[in-house]
């Protein structure tokens, strides 16, 4: 009798053990599948493969429908796909508020208005949207210069952007981009290159301007994240060469903090000149250590995983503060 009881108990324990093992195996398999999905999603986002990213984010949202970070990602993906109406509708259906959602909604509404009201010309790598009736030769010249700049930057960085780029030639401030701009700001890049059409009368101005803003577009395409402003503006100025050789501005040098926050927030023209001069000088010091722009491309691409300071140390053996001290 005792043997039978022991056997029964043994079978029960074995069955419990098998059930526990199967539950653990299923849980591990689900966890591994979830982790693999996250890795793939991040890869899709980094490579700007928006269809893949959207599919994966929606799958993750089925698991955690209230995850606000995933919801922010999905709104951004819809925006990047230029599905502006879908982006607005999705944002309006959210039950929480966030500055990034407000920006995407405002920006989407602005871009819809632009699509409805601006003219359009295309080249191999660009689309030019224009306000009013600028001379056709100006539009064709803009496309020609952009294509030359595009080829030059592809060669310098050994990088070819996946997506077509947009230029807006504007007359009125409503097409200058979201948010107020200081008076000293002529052109901006906010996902589109935005340049006042009147500069097309001055070849010595618009050529370096196109190279400058297109460099920002390449930086965004290469990194998909925000690099420090002094790095972004510094390399754009090195490329456009319009300020190369300028004398150091008078007065105290800006702080690292000032050099890493958006320059367009600075209303004082003299201070803005300082920020640009020191940014270019710091990047020139980096390139003096290694002038290869493919090396520079690898440096900015690895800022996301290494962090800004660690990437500087790895690729150039210096910190931002040390660079600033060198150029003071």
CATH number of the domain encompassing residue 94 = 1.25.40.10
Q: Which helix (H) or strand (E) holds 128?
A: strand 126-130
Q: Mean pLDDT lowest for which of 22-26, 87-91, 234-238, 322-326?
A: 22-26
Q: How far is C-alpha 320 from the chain's CA centre?
A: 21
User: What's the domain count of the chain?
Assistant: 3
The first and second tokens of residue 73, run together, are 């990602």
Distance CA 74, CA 51 (A): 11
**Assessment of whether the complete model's pTM goes beyond 0.75:** no
Rounded distance between C-alpha atoms, residue 235 and residue 282, angstroms: 9
Residue after which a domain boundary falls, among 214, 241, 265:
214
pLDDT for the residue 263:
79
Percent of the chain with pLDDT over 70: 84
Asked if pLDDT for residue 29 goes beyond 70, the answer is: no
Say if residue 234 is in the same domain as residue 327: yes
Question: Does residue 282 fall inside a structural domain?
Answer: yes
pLDDT of residue 122: 77
Q: Can you state the angle between helices 203-223 and 229-240, rounded to 10 degrees? A: 140
Six-digit token pair at 176? 């200058």
| pLDDT, position 290 | 97
Same domain flag for 104 and 158: no
| Residue 164 in domain | yes
Look up the domain containing 178 and give its range. 119-214
18 within a domain of the structure (yes/no): no
Determine how many CB atoms are found less than 10 A away from the CB of residue 14: 10
DSSP SS3 for 193: strand
- In this structure, are 125 and 200 located in the same domain? yes
Residue 230 is predicted with a pLDDT of 95
Mean pLDDT of 150-159: 96
| Residue 246 in tokens | 């300028």
Give 139's pLDDT tier (boundaries 50, 70, 90): confident
Mean pLDDT value across residues 115-141? 79
Does residue 304 belong to any structural domain of this protein?
yes
Cα 272 to Cα 45, 167, 278, distances in angstroms: 33, 24, 10
Within a domain: 17? no
Last residue of a domain, one of 188, 214, 240: 214
Q: Do residues 81 and 134 share a domain?
A: no
Q: Are 165 and 208 within one domain? A: yes
**Shared-domain flag, residues 308 and 230:** yes
Sign of the CA dihedral running 124, 125, 126, 127 = positive
Cα–Cα distance for residue pair 50/224, rounded to 1 Å: 12
Task: Convert the pLDDT of each residue in 73-106 to its tens digit.
Answer: 999 999 988 889 999 999 999 988 999 999 999 9
Rounded CA separation 145/211 (Å): 9
pLDDT digits (tens, 9 = 90+) for 244-290: 888 889 889 899 999 998 877 777 888 888 999 999 999 999 999 99
64 and 104 share a domain?
A: yes
3-state secondary structure of 298: helix
**Contact between 175 and 114 (Cβ < 8 Å):** yes
Q: 164 with 78, same domain?
A: no
**Banded pLDDT at 51 (limits 50, 70, 90):** confident
Same domain, 179 and 259: no
* pLDDT band at residue 204 using 50, 70 and 90 as cut-offs: confident
- Tell whether the model's pLDDT for residue 218 goes beyond 60: yes
For the chain, the average pLDDT equals 84
Q: What pLDDT is attached to residue 8?
A: 60
126-130/165-170 β-pairing: parallel
Same domain, 144 and 180: yes
Question: Is the distance from CB of 243 to CB of 233 less than 8 angstroms?
Answer: no
* pLDDT over 70 at 151, yes or no: yes
CB 67 within 8 A of CB 60: yes
- Domain edge (last residue) among 194, 214, 234: 214
Q: Report phi then psi at 160, rounded to 5.
A: -120, 115
Q: Is residue 135 part of a domain?
A: yes
298 occurs within a structural domain: yes
- Provide the H-helix boundaries in 132-202: 136-157
In whole angstroms, what is the distance from residue 275 CA to residue 273 CA?
Answer: 6
pLDDT of res. 289:
96
Q: How confident is the model at residue 12 (pLDDT cuts 50, 70, 90)?
A: low
112 within a domain of the structure (yes/no): yes
163: closest CA among 224, 88, 210? 224
Contact 131, 118 (CB under 8 A): yes
Higher pLDDT, 197 or 77: 77
Give whichever of 5-14, 54-63, 183-192 has the largest mean pLDDT. 54-63
Instruction: Give yes or no: residues 89 and 185 share one domain.
Output: no
């Amino acid at each position: 009798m005792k043997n039978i009881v022991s056997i029964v108990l043994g079978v029960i324990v074995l069955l419990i053990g098998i059930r526990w093992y199967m539950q653990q195996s299923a849980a591990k398999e689900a966890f591994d599948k979830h982790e693999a999905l996250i890795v793939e999603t991040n890869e899709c986002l980094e490579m700007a493969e928006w269809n893949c990213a959207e599919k994966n984010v929606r799958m993750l949202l089925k698991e955690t429908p209230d995850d606000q970070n995933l919801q922010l990602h999905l709104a951004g993906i819809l925006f990047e796909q230029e599905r502006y109406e879908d982006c607005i509708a999705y944002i309006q259906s959210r039950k929480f508020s966030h500055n990034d959602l407000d920006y995407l909604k405002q920006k989407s509404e602005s871009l819809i208005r632009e699509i409805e009201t601006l003219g359009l010309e295309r080249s191999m790598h660009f689309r030019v949207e224009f306000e009013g009736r600028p001379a056709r030769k100006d539009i064709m010249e803009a496309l020609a210069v952009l294509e030359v700049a595009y080829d030059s930057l592809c060669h310098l960085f050994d990088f070819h952007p996946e997506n077509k780029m947009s230029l807006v030639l504007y007359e009125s401030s409503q097409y200058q981009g979201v948010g107020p701009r200081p008076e000293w700001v002529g052109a901006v890049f906010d996902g589109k290159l935005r340049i006042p059409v009147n500069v097309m009368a001055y070849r010595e101005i618009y050529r370096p301007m196109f190279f400058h803003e297109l460099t920002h577009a390449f930086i965004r395409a290469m990194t998909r994240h925000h690099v420090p402003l002094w790095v972004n503006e510094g390399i754009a100025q090195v490329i456009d060469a319009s300020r190369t050789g300028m004398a150091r501005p008078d007065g105290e040098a800006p702080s690292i903090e000032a050099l890493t926050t958006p320059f367009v927030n600075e209303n004082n023209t003299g201070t803005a000149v300082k920020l640009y001069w020191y940014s270019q000088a710091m990047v020139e010091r980096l390139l003096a250590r290694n002038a290869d722009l493919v090396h520079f491309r690898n440096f900015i691409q690895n800022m996301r995983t290494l962090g800004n300071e660690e990437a500087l140390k790895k690729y150039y053996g210096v910190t931002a503060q040390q660079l600033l001290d060198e150029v003071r």
